[in-house]
């Protein structure tokens, strides 16, 4: 009887521990949610994540993807009230990610990605010093994860993007980045991003469209190679109609490459279904594009000063914002 009692007790304890074990399961439903959020169909993505949380409460990936939804809304709309409401979630989500198994490549990766996203949000809300340290913490975590899991391609995507940006730091400020351990190289960084874009690994395919996003911005704003940007957009047939994020990206890239009409068309032709998030930044971007469209504007004479008719370059460039944080 004692043996039977001890066996049943140990079995119950084992089942209880196993049932409560946290996992990083990027299953098909989480992939669908991620794709929806990356297209800015945020409510649809969140619904899928809520279903996953209810059916698989030990899966940590839904809580990680929640951060993407908050990131896009805060980064594009810059709503102080929403920021005040959501910023406490940063710490809660990091704590949640730390509950998972340390032998998973997602253990450090998810924490680093959350820190990276909040760094960009903090830049938007003027918290530049906090953003510097957030960037450093993210970079160190990505770098450590790359050492532990060299075959996990998303690491290269993120490390490469940061290396590229750090590589643009002026010589006079590199002593700061050296102290912080933020050493960069445009060549090495872009090689890492390129690898993520071209890799056939399952993990690379999962984050494929995100890698396109980093590639396009870095190629244009850092390397100044617009032809390669438009070639990738054409070759990969990026869906600017049903992917609102890509439509915004193409519109911004068009404005910074003297293709205002192309950018206006990308925003006009996109799917305007109410399932897409309301991104107020689109109005600003569209206005800038129309100012830059010179075909219907009279030429400015040397004795006329009219700022509203001058071509305006978008000042809020993600890559340059990140450089501005450091410098």
- For tokens 């030429």, the residue is 299
Distances (CA, A) of 152 to 124, 183, 291: 30, 21, 44
- What is the spatial distance between Cα 153 and Cα 301, in angstroms, rounded to a whole number? 53
pLDDT score at 172: 65
Of 106, 87, 121, which is closest to residue 158 (Cα–Cα)?
106
Of 146, 151, 77, which is closest to residue 112 (Cα–Cα)?
146
CA dihedral 29, 142, 97, 52 (to 10 degrees): 0
Quick count: other Cβ atoms within 10 Å of Cβ 260?
A: 21
CA dihedral 10, 16, 19, 23 (to 10 degrees): -90
Chain-centroid distance, C-alpha 70: 11
- What is the spatial distance between Cα 161 and Cα 319, in angstroms, rounded to a whole number? 9
- What is the spatial distance between Cα 52 and Cα 289, in angstroms, rounded to a whole number? 40
**Using alpha carbons only, what angle is made at residue 33 by residues 283 and 62, rounded to the nearest 5 degrees?**
115
pLDDT score at 180: 66
Distances (CA, A) of 268 to 184, 240, 263: 38, 10, 9
pLDDT score at 294: 62
Q: Provide the token pair at 304.
A: 């006329």
pLDDT score at 175: 61
- What is the spatial distance between Cα 276 and Cα 260, in angstroms, rounded to a whole number? 23
- What is the spatial distance between Cα 272 and Cα 147, in angstroms, rounded to a whole number? 43
Q: Provide the token pair at 50.
A: 């809520």
CB-side neighbour CA atoms (13 Å) of 159? 23
φ, ψ dihedrals at 23, nearest 5° = -140, 160
pLDDT score at 201: 95
Concatenated DSSP letters of 148-197: H-TT-HHHHHHHHHHHHHHTTS-GGGHHHHHHHT----HHHHHHHHHHHH
φ, ψ dihedrals at 59, nearest 5° = -80, 125
- What is the spatial distance between Cα 106 and Cα 158, in angstroms, rounded to a whole number? 13
pLDDT in tens, the chain (327 residues): 554 444 444 444 344 444 479 999 999 999 999 999 999 999 999 999 999 999 999 999 999 999 999 999 999 999 999 999 999 999 999 999 999 999 999 999 999 999 999 999 999 999 998 998 999 999 999 999 999 999 999 999 999 999 998 887 776 666 666 666 677 789 999 999 999 999 999 999 999 999 999 999 999 999 999 999 999 999 999 999 999 999 999 999 999 888 999 999 999 999 999 999 999 999 999 999 999 886 544 443 334 333 332 333 333 444 444 444 444
Distances (CA, A) of 101 to 15, 20, 108, 223, 251: 18, 12, 10, 38, 41
φ, ψ dihedrals at 14, nearest 5° = -65, -45
């Amino acid at each position: 009887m004692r043996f039977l009692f001890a066996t049943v007790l140990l079995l119950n304890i084992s089942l209880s521990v196993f049932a409560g074990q946290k996992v990083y399961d990027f299953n098909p439903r989480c992939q669908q949610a991620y794709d929806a959020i990356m297209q800015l169909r945020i409510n649809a993505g969140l619904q899928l994540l809520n279903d996953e949380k209810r059916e698989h409460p030990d899966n940590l990936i839904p809580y990680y993807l929640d951060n993407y939804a908050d990131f896009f809304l805060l980064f594009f709309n810059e709503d102080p009230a929403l920021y005040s409401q959501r910023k406490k979630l940063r710490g809660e989500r990091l704590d949640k990610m730390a509950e998972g198994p340390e032998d998973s490549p997602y253990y450090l990766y998810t924490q680093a990605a959350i820190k990276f996203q909040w760094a960009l949000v903090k830049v938007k809300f003027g918290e530049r010093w906090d953003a510097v340290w957030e960037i450093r913490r993210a970079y160190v975590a990505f770098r450590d994860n790359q050492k532990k899991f060299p075959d996990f391609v998303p690491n290269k995507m993120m490390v490469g993007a940061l290396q590229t940006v750090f590589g643009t730091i002026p010589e006079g400020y590199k002593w700061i980045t050296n102290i912080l351990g933020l050493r960069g190289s445009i060549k090495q960084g872009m090689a890492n991003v390129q690898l993520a874009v071209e890799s056939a690994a399952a993990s690379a395919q999962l984050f494929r469209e995100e890698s396109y996003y980093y590639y396009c911005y870095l190629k244009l704003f850092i390397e100044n190679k617009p032809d390669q940007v438009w070639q990738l957009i054409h070759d990969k047939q990026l869906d600017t109609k049903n992917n609102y994020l890509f439509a915004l990206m193409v519109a911004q890239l068009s404005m910074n490459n003297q293709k205002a009409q192309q950018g206006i068309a990308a925003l006009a032709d996109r799917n305007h279904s109410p399932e897409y998030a309301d991104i107020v930044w689109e109005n600003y971007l569209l206005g800038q594009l129309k100012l830059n469209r010179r075909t219907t504007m009279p030429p400015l004479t040397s004795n006329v000063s009219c700022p509203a008719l001058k071509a305006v370059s978008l000042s809020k460039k993600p890559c340059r914002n990140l450089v501005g944080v450091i410098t």
